[in-house]
Amino acid sequence: MEIFFPNSAFLGNIESFLSRLNTENKSILNVSFNQKWVSVHPVVLCMAAAISLAIRQGGAHVDTSVFKTTAKSLPYFIRMKLFDFLRVKPESYVSEHESTGRFIPLSQINNASELTKFIADVIPLLHLSPQEAEPIRYVLSEVTRNVFEHSNSSIGAIVCAQYFKKSNKISLGVVDYGMGIKKSINTSHPANSDLEAIKLALYPGVTGTTTRIGGTEFNAGAGLFFTKSIAKVNRNFFMIYSGNAMYKLKKTPARKEIVLYSDSTKDPCFLKDDLPYWQGTVVGIDISLDINEPFSVLLSKLRKAYSLDVKKRRKEKYKKAIFI
């Protein structure tokens, strides 16, 4: 397996990074860096950490020769705990500056109670107002909870976040190395491809735990729909990658009205189904802190859109003729 960290890998240009990913030969992991400068989205760090943890469980190892590097971004990777997850000791030493208000280094979460504690401990460190922190708390909770409920990931969830002052946004990554969306969604809904499974997973009211439209009282199948919609309302990126397919929500232009669609393909998006196979699920999102309305109001709008769509589809289902 091979991971190359280019000089830039954010959600806007994530395709370039993913196309160079090699997920074959799980006996060894080779990691290399652009030698000048590297600036990447937290989800990229999560992917590298997840691969390292997963293949080590199978007795594989990381090629340590590559870490004799002069990459200018080496201190950044050390501070974000990447080498802790790779279990490699880099040759250089970095003084750990205070991370408060700037980033959340790579963290492994194995169950719901650890998630609750993680959110309780981490959100205050970002020094955000309650209004700013609420969408971040929600996304972390919903997307990571999906890992425990659907993925059967032996490494749990790998999470990471970073604040970018210039754009006043927070970027989040949540990654697992479990069964993937297609296998999970096929438990209750037929999907013939990874891309079809991703589209279903983004559809409000569709969950792998039941065939019932709208899900159950315990699992409504709304987490990914809400997460994608939060990014859209913020006019930011969102991506989900599983198997050999990826869905990426593009930014909605400032001049264009925000409309929430239950069918994710009606949004401005990029679809790809020929990527290196990822065993599990990768979710990345950017959240702007320039929020113009309280998150409670936004969530209410999302729930209304979700509820109206579920009611419409239930009505259509029961209108269908039944042949005996």
How far is it, in rounded angstroms, from Cα 86 to Cα 20? 19
* CATH number assigned to the domain comprising residue 118: 3.30.565.10
In the chain, how long is the greatest CA-to-CA distance? Answer: 73
> Using an 8 Å Cβ cutoff, are 153 and 282 in contact?
no
Say if 117 falls within a structural domain.
Answer: yes
Query: Can you read off the two tokens belonging to residue 55?
Result: 């293949």
Say if 323 falls within a structural domain.
Answer: no
Long-range own/partner contacts, residues 211-215 (CB < 8 A, 24 or more apart): 213/310, 213/313, 213/314, 213/317, 214/310, 214/314
Query: Can you read off the two tokens belonging to residue 170?
Result: 């927070």
Quote the domain boundaries for residue 10. Answer: 2-316
Model pTM score: 0.86
Q: How many domains is the chain partitioned into structurally?
A: 1
Say if 322 falls within a structural domain.
Answer: no
With tokens 């989205």, the residue in question is 41
pLDDT at 321: 44
Cα 27–Cα 30–Cα 34 angle in degrees, nearest 5: 165
How far is it, in rounded angstroms, from Cα 232 to Cα 116? 26
| H helix runs in 176-294, sequence order | 181-185, 194-202, 223-233
Say if 305 falls within a structural domain.
Answer: yes
Say if 10 falls within a structural domain.
Answer: yes
Say if 324 falls within a structural domain.
Answer: no
Say if 321 falls within a structural domain.
Answer: no
How far is it, in rounded angstroms, from Cα 178 to Cα 180? 6
Q: Which of 194, 308, 208 lies closest to 262, judged by CA? A: 308
pLDDT in tens, the chain (324 residues): 899 999 999 999 999 999 999 998 888 888 888 888 889 999 999 999 999 999 888 888 787 665 656 667 888 888 899 989 988 876 655 445 554 557 889 999 999 889 988 888 877 767 777 777 888 888 888 899 889 888 899 999 999 998 888 888 889 999 999 999 999 888 877 889 999 999 999 988 775 443 443 333 334 457 898 899 889 988 999 999 999 999 999 999 988 888 888 889 999 999 999 999 999 999 999 998 876 666 666 666 666 665 655 545 444 444 444 444
Q: Which DSSP state fits 271?
A: E
Query: Can you read off the two tokens belonging to residue 244?
Result: 């050999």
Say if 35 falls within a structural domain.
Answer: yes
Q: Which of 2, 6, 18, 63 lies closest to 239, judged by CA? A: 18
Q: What are phi and psi of 160, to 5 degrees?
A: -165, 150
